[in-house]
Amino acid sequence: MNHASSFRLIGLAGLGALLAVPALGQSSSHFYGGVGAGIARSANETARTTGVLLPGVDTLSSSSDRNDNAFKVFGGYQINRNLALETGYYSLGKSRFTTQTSPAGSLSGATKVRGLNFDVVGTLPLTERFAGLARVGVHHAWSEERYSGTGAGAGVAFSSKHNNTNYKVGLGAQYQLTPAMWVRGEMERYRVKDITGRRNNIDVASVSLVFPFGRTAAPRMAAAPAYVAPAPVAVAAAPAPEPAPVPAAPAVAPREPERLSLSADALFGSNQSVVQQQGQNDLDRFSQQLGGATYESISVEGHTDRTGSDAFNQRLSDARAASVKDYLVIHGRIDPARISATGLSERQPVTAVADCPDSLSRARLIDCLQPDRRVEIEVTGTR
Q: Which residue has the higher pLDDT, 84 or 256?
A: 84
CATH of domain 3-213: 2.40.160.20
Residue 237 has pLDDT above 60, yes or no: no
Q: Could you give the dihedral angle defined by the CA atoms of residues 347, 285, 221 and 346, in that order, rounded to the nearest 10 degrees?
A: -10
366 secondary structure, DSSP code: H
User: Where are the domains positioned within the chain?
Assistant: 3-213, 258-382
Domain 258-382 adopts which CATH fold? 60s Ribosomal Protein L30; Chain: A; (3.30.1330)
Mean pLDDT over 262-272 rounds to 85
Please confirm whether the linkage preceding 243 is cis (ω < 30° from 0).
no
Mean pLDDT over 224-234 rounds to 55
Mean pLDDT over 287-312 rounds to 87
Q: Residue 291 — very low, low, confident or very high, per pLDDT cuts 50/70/90?
A: confident
Tell me whether the CATH fold assigned to 3-213 matches the one assigned to 258-382: no
d(CA 332, CA 323): 13
d(CA 39, CA 95): 12
% of the chain surpassing 90 pLDDT: 45
d(CA 83, CA 169): 15
Mean pLDDT over 159-172 rounds to 93
d(CA 101, CA 147): 15
Lowest mean pLDDT of 21-25, 163-167, 365-369, name the range.
21-25
d(CA 371, CA 365): 12
Q: Which residue has the higher pLDDT, 222 or 148?
A: 148
pLDDT for position 242: 65
In sequence order, the 6+-apart residues with CB closer than 8 A to the CB of 199 are 4, 166, 191, 192, 193
Mean pLDDT over 128-155 rounds to 91
pLDDT for position 113: 95
Mean pLDDT over 109-122 rounds to 95
pTM above 0.85, yes or no: no
Mean pLDDT over 201-207 rounds to 96
Q: Residue 21 — very low, low, confident or very high, per pLDDT cuts 50/70/90?
A: very low
Residue 180 Cα to chain centre, angstroms: 11
